[in-house]
Amino acid sequence: MLPLRDTTPCGHYPYVNTALIAFNVILYLVELGQAEGLNRFLYIYGLVPARYTVDQIGSYFTAGQQFLSLFSFMFLHGGFLHLLGNMWSLYIFGDNIEDRLGPVRYIVFYLLCGIASGLSHLVLNLNSTVPVIGASGAIAGVMGAYFILYPNAKILTLIPIFFFPYFIEIPAFVFLGLWFVLQFLSAAGSGSAGGIAWWAHIGGFIFGIMFLKVFLAIPSTGISDRIRLLTAKKKSSRLQVIRPSGSYDDPNMYGTITITAFEAFAGTTKVVNIPRGFKKQLFKVVVPPGIAAGTILRLRGMGRTMPDGQRGDLMLKVYIQSLDV
């Protein structure tokens, strides 16, 4: 299963999440420049469990190198596809967690998840001399937080069936729950065989849930609040998917359109996507300036067609995103 996007909008620009992606890409380019020295580079900056449990091996490294590798391993990758897969998952899930926690708490949360994932692998592979690298464990923590915060969000997923791509929207709790089960089954069956640190993924996911509970209980700082005000989006997503509802005997359909306070003041135009069975209908919705929350926008003739040929209207209730910090 390949996640393509989620349906959870963000009220702030994910500057920290974007910076994490950029930093991972930069360090991957640094790896490519190591040439023949790549193995030594990975052994120094990757997480090697035996460095911490076998004195003869640990003596070759300084205290600074031992400490640094607890962080640096999560920014290194074993190849382009490894990097691409991790960064794509971080792009899909990380922005929403940053939006919820704020930039300061999010970067601390991300690093703690990465460290916890590495220690999970270390504890279960004490004498391993194979370097562990990759952001998968930290991203698993992000996915664990998403599992708790947005269980009913929809994940547009590509499922290849033979040679045919099949696209389906899966609830986040199903997608992430299935992902976690697959990690556990893989870990139980092969441990770290195949070059994948399954227990790092499992540890990251579980600790991500635990850390989220702690971070939600900690109030955001004044610095974080000011940063969030600066990063608040002036505009919501231009393309919005709306799944209207209504009673069987009512020709009218009802849904919600989301805009920001700036758009409510200045007015805006949105492109609305309404799935109708296997078809999707696109049309523009003009939101006039000065509109108030709760206002109903009536789109005539866009509702349900009744047996007598009568066509109802689509009633869109305006929801204005708040800048909660």
Topology of the domain comprising 2-231: Rhomboid-like fold (1.20.1540)
pLDDT tens figures, 59-87: 999 999 999 999 999 999 999 999 999 99
Rounded Cα–Cα distance for residues 23 and 150 (Å): 27
Q: How confident is the model at residue 325 (pLDDT cuts 50, 70, 90)?
A: very low
Q: How confident is the model at residue 296 (pLDDT cuts 50, 70, 90)?
A: very high
pLDDT tens figures, 25-41: 999 999 999 988 999 99
pLDDT tens figures, 193-210: 456 888 999 999 999 999
pLDDT tens figures, 118-128: 999 999 999 99
Average pLDDT over residues 179-187: 91
Would you say 129 and 56 are in contact if contact means Cβ atoms under 8 Å apart? no
Q: Is the pLDDT of residue 191 over 70?
A: no
Rounded Cα–Cα distance for residues 262 and 259 (Å): 8
Q: Is the pLDDT of residue 324 over 60?
A: no
Domain boundaries, the chain: 2-231, 239-320
Q: Is the pLDDT of residue 244 over 90?
A: no
Phi, psi of 132 (to 5 degrees): -100, 125
Q: Is the pLDDT of residue 162 over 50?
A: yes
Topology of the domain comprising 239-320: HSP40/DNAj peptide-binding domain (2.60.260)
Rounded Cα–Cα distance for residues 290 and 280 (Å): 30
pLDDT, residue 276, reads 62
pLDDT, residue 283, reads 80
